Amino acid sequence: MARETILLSRQEIGRQIDVVDTIDAIERAMGVYEKGEDYLPPKAIFEIPVGEPAMAACITGMTKAANLLSMKVGHERTNNPQRQLPTTNSWISCFDPLTGELLMICDGTLPTMYRTAAAAAVGARQLARPDSRTLAVIGAGQLGRECLRAVAAVRLFAKIYVHDRFENAARALAQELHGRVKAPIEVASAEAACRAADVIVTATNSREPIVMSDWIRPGTHLSCMGADLHEKIECEMKLLPRCRLFADKIEHALLRGEVSQAVQHGLLGKDCYAGSLGQVINGAPGRRAADEITMFDGVGIGIQDTTIVRTIYDQAVKKNLGQRMAFS
Ligand SMILES: NC(=O)c1ccc[n+]([C@@H]2O[C@H](COP(=O)([O-])OP(=O)(O)OC[C@H]3O[C@@H](n4cnc5c(N)ncnc54)[C@H](O)[C@@H]3O)[C@@H](O)[C@H]2O)c1
């Protein structure tokens, strides 16, 4: 008899799992993926014709370790803040890969923010200087919140700066996370935050560069997570040739990541990446010198979702969380 499907809300996921606890699992999964044992079909992207920017994406992944097939449908609506709704929303369906049984349908937004923030933290853990003391988080939305907590956990930061084009959003985040990370959090301009930073995380939906090349000191690490479509960009293009570049999935990042516009304009070649972060996790050279600028360009890969939802599903079964539904 088919197993019942678990239905799980964002609130229930948030009560069970903390972003900081997902970093190790995401790091392991990115390393294993690089060995070619997992299943990761291309992302499908749809532009929804509603007369304003509206995008949907279907992201699938299956890992041997998780023994789970996850299929996520994500939506992005640039104008949603005017409707008091989040810009990005997603839902994940999880299947037994062998039988096709639908094991769980859950909120996908929080798992997405967790896995992306965890990947940003893995980028910093692998590539930032060990003596990094100052963190700048650019973007104080859903992703910025999780990135701040995750990246703060991988180095002994003495100071964290947060910047958003809406200062009240940056202030609200600084207040919310005060005491939840060890270092004091201060609101700053993008320039002041970047000039002071050893590690920079970008987590905006900007279509204009925010981080200027002149502000970046030798030795800085950047985890650039916000640009996951060709139209989006967070760093001034001339910064990119100064960086030793890594991606989560190079083919996807060339098309949709932070580098994609620079590649289109011929400023960078298609061989611009030194490698993938998974290769660095598996022992390939990452940062080679204390004064090198490193950048992790993360566009998000389905096996990261699979990894997170395996943990969520196990908790839901163990603790009898959520609602149960028999579809047939
Ligand atoms: N790489 C990935 O795997 C991945 C995963 C999830 C989300 N994302 C992307 O991350 C971005 C952020 O997502 P979110 O859900 O946090 O959105 P959000 O709307 O909650 O937050 C975005 C924040 O960026 C700020 N911002 C926008 N333009 C800015 C600018 N020019 N200067 C300063 N701040 C600016 C906004 O004011 C907002 O506070 C989106 O582009 C989303 O598609 C990427």
- Output the residue whose Cα is nearest ligand 1's atom 1: 299
- Output the residue whose Cα is nearest ligand 1's atom 10: 226
Do 309 and 290 fall into the same domain?
A: no
302, pLDDT greater than 90: yes
In a domain, 276, yes or no: yes
Note whether 75 and 42 are within 8 A (CB). Answer: no
CA 87 from chain center: how many Å? Answer: 15
The whole-number pLDDT of residue 328 equals 86
Do 271 and 195 fall into the same domain?
A: yes
In a domain, 181, yes or no: yes
| Entry pTM | 0.96
Do 161 and 277 fall into the same domain?
A: yes
Tokens for 149, please give them: 């907590």
DSSP 8-state symbol, 235: B
Burial of 153 from C-beta contacts in 10 A (0-12 / 13-18 / 19+): buried
Ligand 1 contacts CB of residue 234 (under 6 A)? no
User: Which residue bears the tokens 């049984």?
Assistant: 101
Do 154 and 48 fall into the same domain?
A: no
Ligand 1 center from residue 25 Cα (angstroms) = 24
* Per-residue pLDDT tens over the stretch 128-148: 999 999 999 999 999 999 999
2, pLDDT greater than 90: no
The whole-number pLDDT of residue 239 equals 98
- Output the residue whose Cα is nearest ligand 1's atom 38: 141
Do 292 and 313 fall into the same domain?
A: no
Do 101 and 134 fall into the same domain?
A: no
Do 159 and 216 fall into the same domain?
A: yes
* Per-residue pLDDT tens over the stretch 192-221: 999 999 999 999 999 999 999 999 999 999
In a domain, 311, yes or no: yes
In a domain, 119, yes or no: no
Do 219 and 184 fall into the same domain?
A: yes
Our count of domains for the chain comes to 2
1, pLDDT greater than 90: no
The whole-number pLDDT of residue 317 equals 95
Domain that holds residue 37: 5-111+303-325
Do 151 and 290 fall into the same domain?
A: yes
Burial of 280 from C-beta contacts in 10 A (0-12 / 13-18 / 19+): buried
98, pLDDT greater than 90: yes
List the CATH number of the domain containing 38. Answer: 3.30.1780.10
Ligand 1 center from residue 223 Cα (angstroms) = 13
The whole-number pLDDT of residue 210 equals 98
List the CATH number of the domain containing 280. Answer: 3.40.50.720
* Per-residue pLDDT tens over the stretch 214-269: 999 999 999 999 999 999 999 999 999 999 999 999 999 999 999 999 999 999 99
In a domain, 257, yes or no: yes
* Per-residue pLDDT tens over the stretch 164-197: 999 999 999 999 999 999 999 999 999 999 999 9
d(CA 230, CA 258): 8
Do 140 and 222 fall into the same domain?
A: yes
* Per-residue pLDDT tens over the stretch 15-65: 999 999 999 999 999 999 999 989 999 889 999 999 999 999 999 999 988
Note whether 89 and 73 are within 8 A (CB). Answer: no
The whole-number pLDDT of residue 119 equals 98
Ligand 1 center from residue 258 Cα (angstroms) = 13
Ligand 1 center from residue 168 Cα (angstroms) = 15
Ligand 1 contacts CB of residue 145 (under 6 A)? no
Ligand 1 test: best mutation among 88, 173, 259, most atoms within 8 Å of CB? Answer: 88
Closest by alpha carbon to 149, among 172, 126, 183?
Answer: 183
Do 151 and 243 fall into the same domain?
A: yes
The whole-number pLDDT of residue 276 equals 98
The whole-number pLDDT of residue 37 equals 84
Strand-pairing partners, residue 273, are 245
Residues contacting 158, CB < 8 A, separation 6+: 133, 134, 183
- Output the residue whose Cα is nearest ligand 1's atom 29: 206
| Closest ligand 1 atom, residue 299 Cα | 1
Ligand 1 contacts CB of residue 164 (under 6 A)? yes
In a domain, 116, yes or no: no
As a whole-number percent, the residues of the chain with pLDDT over 70 amount to 100
- Output the residue whose Cα is nearest ligand 1's atom 3: 300
In a domain, 118, yes or no: no
The whole-number pLDDT of residue 58 equals 97
Ligand 1 contacts CB of residue 116 (under 6 A)? yes
Do 136 and 267 fall into the same domain?
A: yes
d(CA 118, CA 22): 6
d(CA 225, CA 36): 24
The whole-number pLDDT of residue 64 equals 87
| Closest ligand 1 atom, residue 87 Cα | 19
Ligand 1 contacts CB of residue 117 (under 6 A)? no
Ligand 1 center from residue 205 Cα (angstroms) = 4
d(CA 197, CA 136): 6
